[in-house]
Amino acid sequence: PAPPPARHLFSDPAEVEALRGNLLAWYDRCKRDLPWRALAATEPDADRRGYAVWVSEIMLQQTQVATVIDYYNRWMQKWPTLQALAQASLEEVNELWAGLGYYSRGKRLQEAARKVVSELAGRMPRTAQDLQKLLPGVGRYTAGAIASISYGQATGVVDGNVIRVLCRLRCIGADSSSPAVIDRLWDMANVLVDSTRPGDFNQALMELGATVCVPKAPLCGECPVKQHCQAWRRKLFGKPHPVPDVEDCCVGDCPLCPPATEPWDSNLGVTNFPRKAAKKPPRAMRMATCVLERRGCHGAPEYLIVQRPSSGLLAGLWEFPSLPLAQDLQEEKEREELAGQLQAWMGRPVAAKGLQFIGKVIHIFSHIHQTYVVYSLHLDGDVTLDPALSPSRWVTEDEFHASAVSTAMKKV
Ligand code: SF4
């Protein structure tokens, strides 16, 4: 394909130099104090730096900084080194990860730590290319972040924040999730990255997206790179610089401009960018869940939890016995199905009428809109479950909260 028009690129070395300088000066003044930054800046051991940045980056995927801080601190206290993490059990990892969501991240992190210890003599790979090639669960972004922040490799990174900032800086209005646009953004990030302070530069670009160039109401007036921002110029002057008009690009079927059918909307200003193809709506699913309760030996109530399979959604986590339901089932039928399942589990009759309906709990996973239909059942005497089925155990309320259970189950 023909190269995109100059206005979508950073082709002027003087401008690139000025942008780097402005962004880094702003970062030095305004960056947030975050525990992994402090460690990456002061830890003399390169493997420990790499490990700390790796843990923080995996936790930060799909999760807000404010939520991650506490998890990160507890994680590093418990497993301060790769070696310590490699010796942990998956159950311990899931327990610490409980509530952070996207549970396979913790599991993969631990598998990769084991690999570094057993196959790489405990030494973290030092380049983005090797990190991505050798560590399971480490993609292009995470590899670039670890290599630039921990080892000073001059390599760019592209995450959601960087996508937004770059699309605005260069008026990129084509679908920002398309491979063609993503490739261009990686090229740009690699051109822009500062070779003397690559880790700081990458963090600065992401920090700008997280705190100033935010999705809905960006603070352009306070932005350290506004003089380099084509979207900002377009908003102020009605046209970008130096090319006279944003729609001009579309004449040649520009692959980076907004589609001709959805041109610049002056009501949106800089938030015309980035643009994404509409997401598929989440799939609706229903699940019958039964909170089985008994009196424990000390008189306190205990609840039965069972372990989910080791792959798929919420792999290896514990939950109240649950059963997927068809969407259009009548309530009476739902009860019967749940009673049948419990009967098979416990090897004794369970009357559907004995199940008390408690309510419904909605939980949104990234791609699933899940409705839990919650029942409860009090049991007398001892109940044993078929050990050939999923592992199960009785827990008190406190033990339940300390177990590897999902946020959805805590809501239940
Ligand atoms: Fe984002 Fe506004 Fe700065 Fe442009 S000027 S990079 S749109 S905050």
Q: Do 58 and 148 have their domain in common?
A: yes
Give the span between the Cα atoms of 49 and 53, in whole angstroms.
Answer: 6
Which residues does a 6 A CB cutoff place in the pocket of ligand 1?
165, 168-169, 212-213, 218, 220, 223, 225-226, 229, 231-232, 270
Cα 192 to middle of ligand 1, angstroms: 16
pLDDT of residue 271: 95
Is residue 271 a part of any domain in this protein?
no
| Chain segment 203-247, per-residue pLDDT in tens | 999 999 999 999 999 999 999 999 999 999 888 876 544 444 444
Question: Does some domain include residue 240?
Answer: no
Amino acid (one-letter) located at 69:
I
> Is 13 within the bounds of a domain?
yes
Q: Which atom of ligand 1 is nearest to the CA of 209?
A: 1
Are residues 293 and 206 part of one domain? Answer: no
What CATH number is associated with residue 384? 3.90.79.10
Reported as a pLDDT band with limits 50, 70 and 90, residue 106 is very high
From the list 17, 57, 111, 119, the catalytic residue is 57
CA of 165 to the centre of ligand 1 (A): 7
Residues 212 and 307 grouped into a single domain:
no
Confidence of residue 3 (pLDDT cuts 50, 70, 90): low
Is 330 exposed, middle or buried, given 0-12, 13-18 or 19+ CB atoms closer than 10 A? exposed
Dihedral over Cα of 226, 18, 27, 175: its sign: positive
Choice among 100-114, 170-184, 239-253, 334-348 with the minimum mean pLDDT:
239-253
Judge if 139 and 24 occupy the same domain.
yes
Residue range 295-304, pLDDT digits in tens: 887 788 999 9
Of 192, 212, 228, the residue that ends a domain is: 228
The model's confidence at residue 193, banded by pLDDT at 50, 70 and 90, is very high
Please determine, for residue 51, whether its predicted confidence score (pLDDT) is greater than 50.
yes
- Ligand 1 pocket test, pick from 229, 236, 241 with the greatest ligand atom count within 8 Å of Cβ, gives 229
Is 57 an active-site residue?
yes
Q: How many domains does the chain have?
A: 2
Q: How many Å lie between the centroid of ligand 1 and the Cα of residue 13?
A: 20
- Rama region for 152: left / alpha / beta (φ>0; ψ in -120 to 50; rest): left
Q: Which domain holds residue 367?
A: 283-402
CA 212 to ligand 1: nearest atom: 8
292 and 217 part of one domain? no
Distance (angstroms) between ligand 1 centre and the Cα of 270 equals 7
Q: Which two tokens stand for residue 45?
A: 């051991």
Q: Assess if residue 243 is contained within a domain.
A: no
Indicate whether 338 and 211 sit together in one domain: no
Last residue of a domain, one of 228, 244, 270: 228
DSSP, collapsed to helix, strand or coil, labels residue 125 as coil
Question: Residue range 317-322: average pLDDT?
Answer: 93
- Give distance in angstroms: CA of 255 to centre of ligand 1: 22
Which residue would you say has higher pLDDT here, 241 or 282?
282
- Looking at the domain assignment, is residue 236 inside a domain? no
- Given a cut of 70, is residue 382 above it in pLDDT? no
Pocket test for ligand 1, best of 22, 27, 162, 169 (most atoms within 8 A of CB): 169
- Distance between CA atoms of residues 143 and 387, nearest Å: 42
pLDDT of 316 reads 87
Atom of ligand 1 nearest to the CA of 220: 2
Q: What is the whole-number distance in angstroms between the Cα of residue 321 and the centre of ligand 1?
A: 49
- Does the structure show a pLDDT above 50 at 404? yes
Which atom of ligand 1 lies at the shortest distance from residue 273's CA?
A: 7
CATH of the domain at 29: 1.10.340.30
User: Is the same domain home to 177 and 287?
Assistant: no
Going by pLDDT thresholds of 50, 70 and 90, the confidence category of residue 82 is very high
Of ligand 1's atoms, which has the minimum distance to the CA of residue 225? 3
Among protein residues, the one with the nearest Cα to ligand 1's atom 2 is 220
Indicate whether 242 belongs to any domain.
no
Residue ending a domain, among 228, 249, 266, is 228
Helices (H), 100-227: 104-119, 128-134, 140-151, 160-169, 179-192, 198-211
Q: Ligand 1, atom 1: nearest CA belongs to which residue?
A: 213
Does 41 share its domain with 179?
A: yes
